[in-house]
Amino acid sequence: MKLLYIPFDHLHRNYGVLKNADPASDQIVFVQSERMCDPSKWNPIRLYFLISSARHFARQLEAEGFTVHFMVAPTTRDGLESARKKTGIQEIMSAQPSSFRSEAMLADAEVEFVENDFFLTPRGLFHGWADGQKSYLMENFYRKQRVRLNVLMDGKEPIGGHWNFDKENRLPPPKGYQWPGYFRHTPDELDHQVAQELRIEAPLDWATTRDGALMQMDYFFHTHFAEFGPYEDAMTTENWALHHSLLSPYINNGLLHPSEVIEAAKNRFKMGDIPIESCEAFVRQIIGWREYINGMYWYLGADYRNHNQLKAERQLLPLFDHPEKTSMNCVRVSVEDTKSRGWVHHIPSLMVLSNLALLTGTNPQEFLDWMRREFIDASEWVMVPNVIGMGVHADGGQMMTKPYAAGGAYISRMSNYCKPCAYDPKLRTGDKACPFTTLYWDFLDRNRDAFAKNHRMAQQFGGLERLRDREAVKERAQQVLIGLENGTI
């Protein structure tokens, strides 16, 4: 007899350590660690999703005949030791965990690993690709994935004649558009019990079972898929998720495997009514971005999360925990949405929240911890490259050749946030100046030396040189930074 340890992000019967599991020879251990499940430290919506999904999955394994030990303990290590004592079984096996920290802890607890097959790209294969690159361009990796996995290929050529249809996408939110409704999930008694323990109402936005995740996937492919591409970067207060699939939480906790999602996308595309720009954009997220981010996490190593190349030392701004402390409409809406649902899509996440952390010089690790705490799908392997490499450019350009820094003009073009805002995206000085616009120029000014040799930023620095009111911008930037710290901007 042996114990199989199932982390809360390995909830699939056919993958990881459960692939060849048998109730006659294996018992199951889950650990709900108090460190990772404290509602005063983590967004309760995130905890609800992770805990309730794990408890439902534990029930499913029990129904199959497994003996399941669902341990609640101060730490995962404590839970595993308690399971050993309780059962008298010393041998514990698990699939390779999804973070360096878990890997070290489990290895120390003498847990044996089988391969983590919750991704489409084995870690060794990604290392081989990365070792051969001068710069780790996602687009190059993605094209290799299309060929290797035979997705949207017509022989050796990409279907539709191009690898990437982003030029057709990137549209702002359309005016007077009828957004289809969202799939509402029905919480069961176990969901309500978990929600009660966390002192929240069970949310209707998220499923906590594989059946619910499959329903969400089916709904997306039949209701949102066709329009996904063109509006994937748009932001609007009229609709919180636009045509996004909302599948990342289920792929990240194991309720869905990426191969199942890709198979479903291919089958839906074959029906003939899905534009290639939507299908390609979706496929890129799954076989491109997701795999690339996980690959880079393991490739760049455990110390990568500690980078702070721009020497950003500002403490996390109070608005990240108290969105009412800012009059910046885009920021307030994005933080409120994140808190209430545990999710906003990649553009508010990158171009509003991360952009604010970048431009204000917020300490990367403080901001990373906030993102990990708040987002329902924020695994360590997702957030470390996403924040350190993409969001706040703390790695000196190891991952991205230039920072994702933007002023108010980008947010104004891609959203309806600015009209009711207290600030004007076109202004960079004065009381009505958009803080993003002011801080954008100030960020370039402050970091001139760091980017002096970066040719991809020549145009931005050319713009800075042409500013005639540079001193006034710097002065306003200081007022904005003090105002943000005091909760008055």
Q: What are the CA-CA distances from residue 248 to residues 43, 111, 258, 285, 338 (Å)? A: 17, 28, 9, 10, 15
Which residue number, 117 or 424, has a Cβ lying nearer to ligand SF4? 424
The answer to whether 73 and 31 have CB atoms below 8 angstroms apart is: yes
d(CA 243, CA 225): 7
| Distance in Å, CB of 361 to ligand SF4, minimum | 18
d(CA 433, CA 441): 12
Q: What are phi and psi of 396, to 5 degrees?
A: 70, 20
| Distance in Å, CB of 426 to ligand SF4, minimum | 9
| Distance in Å, CB of 1 to ligand SF4, minimum | 58
DSSP tally for the chain: helices H, then strands E = 21, 7
Strand order in the sheet with 92-95: 67-73, 26-33, 2-5, 92-95, 111-114
| Distance in Å, CB of 236 to ligand SF4, minimum | 12
| Distance in Å, CB of 330 to ligand SF4, minimum | 3
The answer to whether 342 and 370 have CB atoms below 8 angstroms apart is: no
Which residue number, 99 or 334, has a Cβ lying nearer to ligand SF4? 334
Q: Which residue's entry shows tokens 């004065």?
A: 430
The answer to whether 189 and 254 have CB atoms below 8 angstroms apart is: no
The answer to whether 4 and 68 have CB atoms below 8 angstroms apart is: no
Which residue number, 96 or 334, has a Cβ lying nearer to ligand SF4? 334
| Distance in Å, CB of 429 to ligand SF4, minimum | 14
Which residue number, 6 or 328, has a Cβ lying nearer to ligand SF4? 328
Which residue number, 390 or 439, has a Cβ lying nearer to ligand SF4? 439
Across the chain, which distance is largest between two alpha carbons, in Å? 77
The answer to whether 258 and 251 have CB atoms below 8 angstroms apart is: yes
| Distance in Å, CB of 374 to ligand SF4, minimum | 19
Which residue number, 17 or 477, has a Cβ lying nearer to ligand SF4? 477
Which residue number, 376 or 434, has a Cβ lying nearer to ligand SF4? 434
- Residues contributing to the site for ligand SF4 (CB under 6 A): 328-330, 408, 411-412, 417-418, 421, 423, 425, 434-436
